[in-house]
Chains A and B, each alone.
Chain A
Amino acid sequence: MISPKLVEVGRHLNINIITNSEIKTVEGEPGNFTVTLSNHPRYIDPVKCTGCGECAKHCPVTAVNRYNKGLDDRRATFIEYPQAVPLAFGIDTDTCIGCGLCENVCIARAIQYDETERESRVTVGSIILAPGSMGYDPSKLDFWGYGKYANVLTSEEFERILSASGPYFGHLSRPLDREEPKKIAWIQCVGSRDTNRCGNGYCSSVCCMYAIKEAMIAKEHAHGELDCAIFNMDIRSFGKDYEKYYLRAKDKDGVRFLKARIHTITEIPETGDLQVWYIDETGQRQDEIFSMVVLSVGLQIPENVADVARNLGVELNKYRFVETGPFTPVETSRPGIFTCGVFQGPKDIPSSVTEASAAACLAGADLAVSRGMDTPTVQVTEQQDVSGESPRIGVFVCNCGINIGGIVDVPAVQNYSATLPNVVYTDQNLFTCSQDTQDKIKEKIIEHKLNRVVVASCSPKTHEQMFMETLEACGLNRYLFEMANIRNQNSWIHSKTPAIATQKAKDLVRMAVARASTLRPLAEKVISVNKQALVIGGGVAGMNAALGLAKQAFRVFLLEKETELGGLSRKLHHTIEGGDIQAYLKQLVADVRKNELIDVVTGARVTNFSGYKGNFKTDVVAGPANTKLTIEHGVIIVATGANEYIPTEYLYGQDPRVVTQLQLGDRLEEIGVSDLSTVVMIQCVGSRNSTNENCSRICCQNAIKNALIIKKADPAIQVYILYRDIRTYGLMEDYYTEARNLGVIFIRFDETNPPEVKSTPEGLIVSVTDHILRMPLEIQTELLALSAGVTAADTGSLCGIMKFNRNPEGFFIEAHVKLRPVDMPGDGIFLCGTAHAPKLISETIAQAQAAASRATTFLSKSEIKLSAITAKVDTEHCVKCLTCVRSCPFGVPVFNTEKQIIEIDEATCHGCGVCAAICPRRTIQLSFYEDDQLNCKIDALLAGGM
């Protein structure tokens, strides 16, 4: 999943990757920092290294493979994993014996044993700290026997075991005897929520979900029945749709969830199995034998990482996470230095990715004035017209050092290619991807008037773009290029049968040449980008998104359906950390109102919408006079917010003593606590039930926040919180601990046995069974607060007009849950705040900044190039059967009723080819993958006989 991101970062013109380096000092001011780095020696020049791996193949030294958590080994010359960026090896000098073999075999001459520690300086405007975290080392917890019993593993080790690229190639097996386990137990909160043994009082936020995932994957990988048991204190599936995943694991896939912590693990010496004792739901002690136990280790910031931050003058909290404020989630104590990811606090991938964009937003805002000044751009060469010319193909066969040449008879392949139709020039290169070969290719294109190029080398995934750029640089259309992968798909996998490999290389080249003859130049449509943004929703999310864009110097139209800005936050008083929301809101509204680049449109309603990325047009009716307004804009940010669920449960609306947490918040602010003696709270009202399966994420902390206010005002007031799982993830766990410390009593109930509420003149009587004593409790109280969940705002008519996708709960759907959590599926449309899913105010602010950042990547360009790989309709032969209209997964083909034709907009087409394949009249073709361009490959392949 991460590979495309790695490739993108590696290829990005404006990202300079400096690996193997550490920050020593940072001097200067925001906008102008000088960063001094120590660059550790790698002993292999990453520029010269082609990643061929010959060095590692010949290295005689065996070293522990830290990437696979020590479960297997690697060489002293190594690369951490095959997708690493930069794709360059290094030498681990702790184990290297200095034999010199790698230098002998390296054809690229990249080995440099005499490399030393260097110091370098870079000048930057902003800094983002994203050093990540380490898994907790459970060796200290002697009662679980990690390090003593072979089959007690950390979750990180188990993750590698499940991985196809891991030590056991994805075969589910246990370290002791490589047998497939029959029963696996997970122990949660190892190195988290533990102030006794490790001092990490926080929740690591991710372990519940990864444990469930590991259990599900383990079950998939297992050949027979596999019993998976997750021992937990609370299951914290608080993220978007996470609860559904948990329910699937529990109810459909039979993963067992046990609310228990194991005291001690004992190994049975004869079998290596592990015996555990625990207390079950009924209070009985049980013992069980597992084949393996996985310790779900938490996230923690290593001391050396913390030291780097401290040296920069960045304040950290007691757990070594960066100190940030509830309203400034990615800002560190030092101006101009920002943070994101787990260093900011424990979090999952979607939140990390979101925060990363937020940090990029703020980092970019400081630099907005100098945008484009220090960034390289590509010179575009004018394209020559080759239409009408008969194909003149040049074939370049790569040796890839000895990766190809050592197996495949490259001269034979080159000679063979010269015999193929339309081939007018052939060559072979040591490394076709090297810079000097690019220059040579350009020379030959011009010299031999080549109008098609075939490179027989490695994977188009990593190298196609680069070769296409080479073509472009000498005026040849980039789509007149084809690759034959004779390394990854040939020499690497048939290394033991060189003759067969050579024959297959010839086949692959023949196929590529056949296809090259059919290629046509394609034009990438260039569209202009309107530099204005539309933000829908004027709450905390929308206002932050608008300000983020305005700081990047873009004009913003901020639509709010109410007459006032603020949204749901107008009803909130304080964050759990004590941040004053109303003061913040007042300032935020003032900032938005006085910003000249932001046009606030209140009382607004969208009435019509058209266009595509970079060029949208939205009609709005606004204000008391229903003023009509047409806004042209390049991007959209959706921030329509959410509401508190209105309960129908527990006598809400029937007895005034039953309130919601928001109402309780108001009451504590307005009346205080002097008339109270007992307060009961019930969690998960309107969440985690059959109508709304999801967890509303914020209610646990909300209840605890109010409980703390009550307890701090008068410790004698009894507060009882009736819950199912307490989900104070991340650093909020400290508030849960504080609440217990102040005497708040937490009583867990089961969904199937919820509390009952009776109304009597003396007070409300709440009945519930105590989960420890298994005895009925009756609590008499004068106030019952329901932790009502979060419901999506009513966006039905908006979605009808703007065609946005929502999930069954009414929240908007992001383009990719993990990698693109603030993008909507449509290009140029972004999402933030509770319109996406329930979230805290600090998370909302981060996502709003992230949306502004994502929108900026769009708006900062004056024009965008569209992919040329799109579907085209031959309208003359089309019978308008509408099959394409029905089949397109993105709703792109439309029937133009005026012109009476099917139209496929190349700006919105994703290029998947579903329509082309399904068109019964074959009147749709997908450019670059047209029928003849595929058929010729089939024909060429089979022409060789199989």
Chain B
Amino acid sequence: MRLDYPANVKIIRVPCTGKVDVLHLMRAIQRGADGVYVVGCLEGSCHYKEGNLRARERVMHVQQLLQEIGLEGDRVRMYNLSSGEGPTFAAYAREMTEHIKALGPNPLKKWATA
């Protein structure tokens, strides 16, 4: 549908958001990502029944962990949409980008090692 969204969003493909691990989210932040978000199916319509619900729990867990070490938990978020919702995807990408811009750069970035 060629809907514009910010170029700073880059996608890593997983079979199901249930595969997304706390470690993956933490690693991205540790390596200097300013924000990470997980995009799953709408709640109740996970192809694998409940992977997206697990992902949400993990995202919430990472949010807590980040807060505990003094970072904004909100750098990590979970969004849900169905595969037919291109415009919503673009809207979330913009929303997340605006949100992260407001938070400013990830303070860990200066120590980040590739």
Contacts and interface: CB of A to CB of B under 8 A. Distances in A.
Q: Are A and B in contact, CB atoms below 8 Å, in the complex?
A: yes
Interface of A: 1, 3, 82, 163-165, 169-170, 460, 485, 489-490, 492-497, 500-501, 503-504, 507-508, 511, 869, 887, 889-890, 910-914, 916-918, 926, 929, 931, 934-935, 937-939, 941-943, 945-946
B87 A164 contact: yes
Nearest to B86: A164
A946 B20 contact: no
Given A914-B54, A942-B112, A942-B114, A3 B16 contact: no
A1 B84 contact: yes
A496 B4 contact: yes
A324 B2 CA distance: 46
B15 A169 contact: no
13 contacts: A3-B83, A490-B7, A493-B4, A495-B2, A507-B10, A912-B18, A912-B48, A916-B19, A916-B21, A939-B31, A943-B114, A946-B8, A946-B34
Nearest to B89: A164
Contacts of A945: 32
Contacts of B1: 82, 165
Contacts of B90: 493
B2 A941 contact: no
Contacts of B88: 164, 170
B85 interface: yes
Contact of A508 (B10, B15, B85): B10
A935 B24 contact: yes
Given A500-B7, A504-B7, A913-B15, A164 B24 contact: no
A497 B7 contact: yes
B10 A504 contact: yes
A330 B12 CA distance: 46
A903 to B, nearest CB: 20
A169 B51 contact: no
Contacts, number: 121
A943 B31 CA distance: 8
Given A912-B15, A916-B19, A938-B31, A889 B2 contact: no
Contacts of A503: 7
Nearest to B47: A912
B23 interface: yes
Contacts of A917: 18-21, 54, 58
B110 to A, nearest CB: 11
B10 A164 contact: no
A404 to B, nearest CB: 13
A938 B20 CA distance: 12
B14 to A, nearest CB: 6
B60 interface: no
B12 A934 contact: yes
A413 to B, nearest CB: 14
At the interface, is chain B mostly helix, strand, loop or mixed? loop
Given A929-B14, A934-B24, A937-B12, A914 B7 contact: no
A889 B51 contact: yes
B12 to A, nearest CB: 5
Contacts of B112: 942
Contact of A910 (B7, B23, B31, B48): B48
A573 to B, nearest CB: 43
A869 B5 contact: no
A889 B114 contact: no
A792 to B, nearest CB: 22
Interface string B29-53: 0011110000000000001111100
Given A504-B7, A912-B48, A926-B15, A918 B54 contact: yes
Contacts of A508: 10
A943 B109 CA distance: 11
B28 interface: yes
B43 to A, nearest CB: 13
A490 B2 CA distance: 9
A461 to B, nearest CB: 9
A169 B87 contact: yes
A493 B11 CA distance: 14
B19 A935 contact: no
A169 B27 CA distance: 36
A929 B19 contact: yes
Contacts of A912: 15-16, 18-19, 47-48, 51
Contacts of B114: 939, 942-943
Nearest to A483: B13
Contacts of A507: 10
Contact of A913 (B8, B11, B18, B23): B18
Top 7 A-B pairs, shortest CB-CB distance: A913-B19, A943-B114, A912-B48, A889-B49, A942-B31, A914-B18, A492-B2
A402 to B, nearest CB: 14
A938 B18 CA distance: 18
Contacts of B85: 164, 170
A429 to B, nearest CB: 22
B54 A942 contact: no
Contacts of B69: none
Contacts of B33: 938, 941-942, 946
Interface in B46-97: 47-51, 54, 58, 83-88, 90
A688 B20 CA distance: 42
Contacts of B28: 938, 942
B22 to A, nearest CB: 8
B3 A489 contact: no
B31 A489 contact: no
A247 B80 CA distance: 25
B46 to A, nearest CB: 8
B14 A913 contact: yes
A848 B90 CA distance: 44
B7 A929 contact: no
A371 B27 CA distance: 53
Contact of B48 (A500, A914, A943): A914
Most buried by A among B19, B48, B50, B84: B19
A485 B10 CA distance: 10
A913 B16 contact: yes
Given A511-B10, A929-B19, A931-B21, 13 more contacts: A164-B85, A165-B86, A493-B2, A500-B7, A913-B16, A917-B20, A918-B54, A934-B14, A937-B12, A938-B33, A942-B28, A942-B33, A946-B8
A494 B4 contact: yes
B10 A941 contact: yes
A503 B6 CA distance: 13
Contacts of A164: 84-88
